[in-house]
Amino acid sequence: MELIDGNAIAAALIAELKATVAALPGRAPCLALVRVGEDPASVSYVRKKEKTAAEIGVTSRIILPPITITQHELETLIDELNADASVDGILVQSPLPKHLDELAIFRRVAPSKDVDGFHTLNLGKVAQEDPTGFVACTPAGIMELLARSGVDLSGQHVVVLGRSLIVGKPVALLALQKKAGANATVTICHSGTRELPSITRQADVLIAAIGRAEFVTADMVKPGAVVIDVGINRVADPTKKTGYRLTGDVHFPSVSPLCSRITPVPGGVGPMTVAMLMHNTIKARRQTAAAT
């Protein structure tokens, strides 16, 4: 079994992006990060995005509306960012508090600034294999991780566990694209799937994105498979200073000996997501610069 080192691959990508930013004409790319409320995981993710942006020379603007913000107020905030020529990319950290309509917020972001790739138009461009759009960062990071690890999906059976807008659906569409590195046969499984282990056992590449700690067990994995663990779950652990530990959607101790390759949690997909966000922000900056 070989570990896919997301930290090392993301570090290489970030070094490339830093050189790209340094060579850009005009002002630095600017990313607006909107976080509503104090969800601890969101606080940590936004901090990481801010840190990485600073590291590569991308300006970030952190906007922290109170948890009491209304749908209308948040939409107005997005409209202002859409109209602000000094902002290239806009990210609204998910999940939003329950009283807000998250999908309506994602759709409010101008498609040209939608560095998260959650807008209808950008998801549609993935389906149409139109490279001018933005690809959601976690799915894009998974594809980059596979490509840079020398895993060619062509003709392989990719099984995706989970159908979310953020990971499951877009990663399935990407693996399906008729192009180098992709061209896979794709199956999507979800909470309504019958005989789940019999399907996941057919996977040459298994992508677990269901958000349930250690859900994938050894009986669900074909020996020699490549396993990509997208889960980041906090489970209580009194032996840790923080009181919790992070674990993926895969039961690593039993599954890892079976695999040809596997991503760890943390240090697998997570760092790639942040790197792809920076990639998208640079792309947004290039497109706005070209349009003015």
Annotated catalytic residue within 88, 114, 116, 204: 116
Helix, strand, coil % over all residues of the chain, rounded to 5? 40, 15, 40
Does the active-site annotation cover 49? yes
Go through the chain and tell me how many residues it has: 292
In sequence order, what E strands does 173-279 have?
A: 185-189, 205-208, 226-229, 233-236, 244-247, 261-262
Interatomic CA distance for residues 41 and 17, integer angstroms: 26
The verdict on 176 binding ligand GUN (CB under 6 A) reads no
When the beta carbons of 4 and 166 are compared against ligand GUN, the nearer one is 166
Number of C-beta neighbours around residue 40 at 10 A: 10
Residue 202 CB, nearest approach to ligand GUN (Å): 28
Catalytic residue check, 93:
yes
164 binds ligand GUN (CB under 6 A): no
Two tokens, residue 103: 């999908």
Residue 29 CA to its chain's centroid (Å): 20
Q: What are the tokens at 30?
A: 């600017």
Q: How many residues sit in the footprint of ligand GUN (CB under 6 A)?
A: 9
From 9, 32, 137, 151, residue interacting with ligand GUN (rule: CB under 6 A): 137
Query: What mask of x and - would describe binding to ligand GUN in positions 76 to 115, judged by CB under 6 A?
Result: ---------------xxxx---------------------
**Contacting ligand GUN (CB under 6 A), which of 273, 280, 281, 288?**
273
SS3 160: strand
**Burial label, 58 (beta-carbon count in 10 A; 0-12, 13-18, 19+):** buried
Question: Is 202 a residue of the active site?
Answer: no
Residue 116 engages ligand GUN in binding (rule: CB under 6 A):
yes
Q: Which of 36, 109, 145, 166 binds ligand GUN (CB under 6 A)?
A: 166
Q: Which residues bind ligand GUN (CB under 6 A)?
A: 91-94, 116, 137-138, 166, 273
So which residues are the catalytic ones? 49, 93, 116
